Amino acid sequence: MSRPLAERLKALEEAADLSRGRSSAESVERAAAVVKRAGQRVAFSGDHTVVALAGATGSGKSTSFNAISGTEFASTGVRRPTTSQAMAVAWGSELPGDLLDWLDVKRRHLVPARRSSFANLVLLDLPDHDSTEADHRMTVDRLVPLVDMLIWVVDPQKYADAALHDRYLRPLAQYADVMIVVLNQSDRLRPAELNEAMTDLRRLLDAEGLKKARLMSMSALEGDGVPELREVLAAAVADKKAVGQRIAGDVTGAAAELQRELGTGRTPQLDRKQRAPLVEALADAAGVPVAVEGVREAWKLRGGLATGWPFVKWVAKLKPDPLRALRLDQGPKELSPTSLSRTSLPGASSVQRARLDRGLRELVDAAAAGLPRGWAGAVRTAARGHEALLMDRLDTAIAGADLELDRGTGWWSVVRALQWVLMLAVVAGVLWTLFMMFAPAMGLAGIPTVFWWGWPAQFVLLAGGVVGGLVLAGLSAVGVSIGARGKANRAERRLHEAIGKVADAELIAPVDAELDRHRRAVEAVRRAS
């Protein structure tokens, strides 16, 4: 087997593997069978050339067999065998037993020949292809795809028989290089009639795609044309190309059939513009808007607790943390190391699921546009293959997203420290005021009053602590609110990124892989062709 043919077989095998489950099972199995049969044929005595004589009842096929082989092994006329078995004659020093076993030809004969031009030739006599016996036709149908070269023996009366042309010749057009059509019984025709019959038969063969098929005339009884046919067979045995040409024809036919299954258009490209709306629909269905709002409210609550006026911020502690309620941004003690994180985000509504389904359908329809039905179905299956687990994957992605709530809180500590200083000032002012009020009763009269900026110092501490704490809390609330909006925006981007990764892994990557598979199958078929 030549290297180019071996590469074509490898490409056909690759195309069949890639097309399995997408193209029709018949086409895929036929291509796989070609690869398997080629390997077996070369393994079983690749030096031999197997030539089969086939023909209809009364065409003189067996007489032709005897004339070509120079033997009397084939029974003729009324002595034609009634069995469905083919017969083989081989030339050489020994029968190619493994090859004949593979062909399942039981009746076999050896013609000893060391230097014969037919050495390494195996000539088969097939049953009549139009026999009334079903076993005869089945034997012909089984052996025709296995032999290396075919000689169709036809007679002047039935050379245009539709059964021959429709069932055998036209479907075997890709094997024209290794096919010979012999018009037998030429002795029954006058030269003008023979020329007319040959011209008509040539026209029929050309119309059926068999322009490369050799056409010859012969009279097996008279011996006319027999030497020429023997020379053709001897040349085929000598150049050892028949096996490769027959296998090449098999590959061409199987590749053409797979090509039809793959379609004639180019493999579609996944429209990346449809990724954004799909991710948006996934995010909406997974509860990202709720999570983003939870980030905003949680930042406000935590910022308020950290920077609010200490005397009233205890009220805020009564409110539940929105993110903790959603099981987001949980602390180490709240996470179980032996289980997956799950959020408490609300499930997708029917409207959200419908929007998601529409986005996925539009993406898949665009990806499958122009593909044959089987491949388009594979693309849709790939896109929806993980649909049952999709919402769980989205929930896990949201639960594992870094919402960055532990960053940007440094100024909270400064404000908290200032609030504690102001709170201490208030406490000191209150205690100082009480002390000055009750000092005379405790016998401590005469303690002078300290003034700051014209006001009693204890009043300055008290008023300054209260006013300062409230003003600082108010300014901090503005800062916390601004920060909450920033955190919510960043969290939305992070969550969309997490959702996008799930979409890429669970939806887009499988579709891309299926399209790439079709692309590689098309390329493999091109190389096989």
Percent of the chain with pLDDT over 90: 23
Q: Is the pLDDT of residue 20 over 90?
A: yes
Q: Looking at the structure, do residues 144 and 256 belong to the same domain, yes or no?
A: no
- The dihedral built from the CA positions of residue 417, 422, 423 and 425, taken in this order, carries a sign that is positive
Greater confidence (477 vs 323) lies with 477
Greater confidence (393 vs 337) lies with 393
Q: Structural domain tally of the chain?
A: 3
- Residue 167 vs residues 54, 233, 258, 351, 522: alpha-carbon distances, Å: 13, 25, 21, 58, 29
What mean pLDDT do residues 468-482 have? 90
Q: Which helix (H) or strand (E) holds 493?
A: helix 457-503
Q: Looking at the structure, do residues 85 and 9 belong to the same domain, yes or no?
A: no
Q: Looking at the structure, do residues 245 and 196 belong to the same domain, yes or no?
A: no
Last residue of one domain, picked from the residues 262, 297, 316:
262
pLDDT tens digits, residue range 250-290?
899 899 999 999 988 888 887 777 788 888 888 888 888 88
pLDDT given at position 77: 52
CATH number at residue 181: 3.40.50.300
Asked if residue 148 belongs to a domain, the reply is yes
Q: Looking at the structure, do residues 374 and 397 belong to the same domain, yes or no?
A: yes
Band of pLDDT at residue 342, cut at 50, 70 and 90: low
3-state secondary structure 339-386: CCCCCCCCCCCHHHHHHHHHHHHHHHHHHHCCCCHHHHHHHHHHHHCC
pLDDT tens digits, residue range 423-448?
899 888 888 888 888 777 777 766 77
Ramachandran angles phi, psi of 344, nearest 5° = -110, 25
Q: Looking at the structure, do residues 279 and 353 belong to the same domain, yes or no?
A: yes
pLDDT given at position 353: 84
Asked if residue 267 belongs to a domain, the reply is no
Q: Looking at the structure, do residues 366 and 426 belong to the same domain, yes or no?
A: yes
Q: Looking at the structure, do residues 300 and 414 belong to the same domain, yes or no?
A: yes
Range of the domain at 73: 48-239
Q: Quick check: helix, strand or coil at residue 148?
A: coil
What mean pLDDT do residues 96-102 have? 89
The strand pair at 214-217 and 107-112 is best described as: unpaired
Asked if residue 245 belongs to a domain, the reply is yes
pLDDT given at position 203: 93
Three-point CA angle 511, 512, 513, nearest 5°: 90
pLDDT tens digits, residue range 485-518?
998 899 889 999 989 898 888 888 888 999 999 9
Q: Looking at the structure, do residues 489 and 416 belong to the same domain, yes or no?
A: yes
Q: Looking at the structure, do residues 290 and 437 belong to the same domain, yes or no?
A: yes
Q: Where are the alpha helices (DSSP H) in 83-185?
A: 97-103, 134-143, 162-164
What mean pLDDT do residues 176-193 have? 91
Q: Looking at the structure, do residues 226 and 251 belong to the same domain, yes or no?
A: no
pLDDT tens digits, residue range 216-230?
999 988 889 999 999
Three-point CA angle 223, 207, 258, nearest 5°: 110
Asked if residue 465 belongs to a domain, the reply is yes
Band of pLDDT at residue 244, cut at 50, 70 and 90: confident
pLDDT tens digits, residue range 362-401?
888 888 888 899 998 998 888 887 777 888 888 888 888 8
Q: Looking at the structure, do residues 289 and 332 belong to the same domain, yes or no?
A: yes
Q: Looking at the structure, do residues 155 and 71 belong to the same domain, yes or no?
A: yes
